[in-house]
Amino acid sequence: MKKCIIIGGGFAGLSAGVFLSNAGFNVEILEASPKLGGRAYSFEDKDSNSIIDNGQHILMGCYKDTLRFLKLIGAEGNLIFQKRLKVNFLKKDFELFTLKAFPIFYPFNLLFGLLSFKAISFYERLKLLKFFLKLHFYMDKELSKLTIREWLEMEGQNKNIRKAFWDFLAIGALNTSTEKASAKVFSDILKKIFFRGNKAATIILPRNGLTETYCNNSVQFIESKGGSISLSEQVLEIKINNGFASEIITSKRSIKDFDYVISAVPLYMLGKIFSEENIFLEPNLSYSPILTIHIWLKENNLIEDFYGLIGSPIHWVFNHRNHISLVRSDADEIIEKSKDEIFDIALCELKKYTSIDCDAIKSYKIIKEKRATYIPSNDILNKRPSPKTSIKNLFLAGDWVETGLPSTIESAVKSGRLAGEEILRIH
Q: pLDDT of the chain along its 427 residues, tens only?
A: 899 999 999 999 999 999 999 999 999 999 999 999 999 999 999 888 899 999 888 999 999 999 999 999 999 999 999 999 999 999 999 999 999 999 999 999 999 999 999 999 999 999 999 999 999 999 999 999 999 999 999 999 999 999 999 999 999 999 999 999 999 999 999 999 999 999 999 999 999 999 999 999 999 999 999 999 999 999 999 999 999 999 999 999 999 999 999 999 998 888 788 755 555 656 678 899 999 999 999 999 899 999 999 999 999 999 998 899 999 999 999 999 999 999 999 999 999 999 898 899 999 999 999 999 999 999 988 889 999 999 999 999 999 999 999 999 999 999 999 999 999 999 8
All residues at 6 or more sequence positions from 338 whose CB lies less than 8 Å from its CB, including other chains? none
Q: Which fold has domain 287-374?
A: Polyamine Oxidase; Chain A, domain 2 (3.90.660)
Per-residue pLDDT at 380? 87
CA angle 303, 309, 314 (to 5 degrees): 115
Per-residue pLDDT at 285? 83
CA angle 323, 305, 178 (to 5 degrees): 100
Q: Name the residue ranges covered by the structural domains of the chain.
A: 3-58+210-283+379-426, 99-196, 287-374
Per-residue pLDDT at 279? 56
Per-residue pLDDT at 382? 83
Per-residue pLDDT at 357? 87
Per-residue pLDDT at 267? 85
Decide: 85 and 113 in contact? Cβ < 8 Å: yes
The most distant pair of C-alpha atoms in the chain lies apart, rounded to whole Å, by 67
What would be the CATH architecture of the domain defined by 3-58+210-283+379-426?
Answer: 3-Layer(bba) Sandwich (3.50)
Burial class (CB in 10 A: 0-12, 13-18, 19+), 402: middle
Burial class (CB in 10 A: 0-12, 13-18, 19+), 396: buried
User: Beta strands 306-309 and 86-91: pairing type?
Assistant: parallel
All residues at 6 or more sequence positions from 210 whose CB lies less than 8 Å from its CB, including other chains? 37, 40, 41, 42, 53, 54, 57
Per-residue pLDDT at 282? 60
Task: Give the predicted TM-score (pTM) of the model.
Answer: 0.95
Q: Which H or E run includes 205?
A: strand 203-206
